Homo-oligomer: A and B are copies of this chain.
Amino acid sequence: MKIAVLPGDGIGPEIIREARKVLEVLQKEGLAITLEEAPLGGAAYDQYGSPYPEVTQKLAREADAVLLGAVGGPAYDNLDRPLRPERGLLAIRKDLSLFANLRPAILYPELANASTLKPEVVSGLDIMIVRELTGDIYFGQPRGIRINAAGEREGFNTMLYAESEVRRIAHVAFGIAMKRNKKLCSVDKANVLETTEFWKEIMIDVAKEYPEVTLSHMYVDNAAMQLVRNPKQFDVMVTGNIFGDILSDEASMLTGSIGMLPSASLDANNKGLYEPSHGSAPDIAGKNLANPLATILSVAMMMRYSFNLEAVAQRIESAVKKVLADGLRTADIFEEGTRKVSCSEMGDAVVAAL
């Protein structure tokens, strides 16, 4: 099994280094994986003049799974925006057809204080958001800035979902609901937008193939409220690309510990790209301060979804829980009474706990 490792920018290289330690343990134990690195984002732009250059494209296409650190940073914010997402992050998602983005929002009991929400509202929180990732207004044509019939400038974009796009994300979401608590909430704005009225109709149709799953529907504005009011009412949520972008970030912030949250982006054959939900944190880059746990938990998701190695996934997740229970914390999740450790110390501790 071939894993493409793309450290990226900012804290990317340091958190990837710790995740590699976990992968290398598995490798030494006999798991048949190979690891090969290539640049992405700013690092790739510096070396090859493109955030997703051919060498990276080739590696990512040939791999069975991709492990990504993070991309972007202030050094790249100005040069005519060389890292515009459509050339980097959106390009790799589309290139690899990674249409199913899985974003868990889990509150670890040891980190309950980090949430801005009251303990009783979030204790035990465990939501899985399934976000469609290669369609919607992110990619819909036509789009741009033009002069309209009245001679005025206007900006425009197209929200768009074809039936097959909705069906395949529906199957992913129902499949995940089947493995969890058989409860799926589809989020739309069907009262206003035909695209999502169509989305809802197809969700209802696909539901017939999963009679054990209870499907509910919620408008996106209400979902944004309910996540604050009573997030534990949700188990699996499924929604389109733009609503999923907003709601998955809101949900992850409910835990207060975005440094803990992994993500997976899958294609139709379980090939996946795995990355932490947090960004490249340029302010702390290179200081050995970053939290590598979201990246390590992304490796667990890789084992689960791309390699179908549930036991290995759980072993990694248990090791992470153990270091938390042992009181180890990187700076972002530190609180009094716990032990502050560096990025590499945290990685070593997880390896020791494996």
A binding-site residues for B, Cβ under 8 Å: 84-86, 90, 116-118, 121, 137-138, 140, 143-145, 148, 150, 152-164, 189, 191-199, 220-222, 224-230, 242-243, 245-250, 252-254, 256, 258
Contact = CB atoms under 8 A, between A and B. Distances in A.
23 contacts: A85-B192, A90-B192, A116-B121, A138-B192, A143-B194, A145-B198, A148-B162, A152-B164, A153-B162, A153-B198, A155-B197, A155-B198, A156-B158, A156-B159, A156-B161, A157-B160, A221-B248, A224-B224, A224-B247, A224-B253, A225-B252, A228-B228, A243-B246
A312 B244 CA distance: 43
**How many copies are assembled?**
2
A99 to B, nearest CB: 15
Given A116-B121, A156-B194, A220-B246, 5 more contacts: A85-B191, A137-B193, A144-B194, A153-B198, A157-B194
Nearest to A81: B191
Nearest to A279: B222
Contacts of A221: 245-246, 248-249
Contacts of A248: 221
Contacts of A192: 85-86, 90, 138
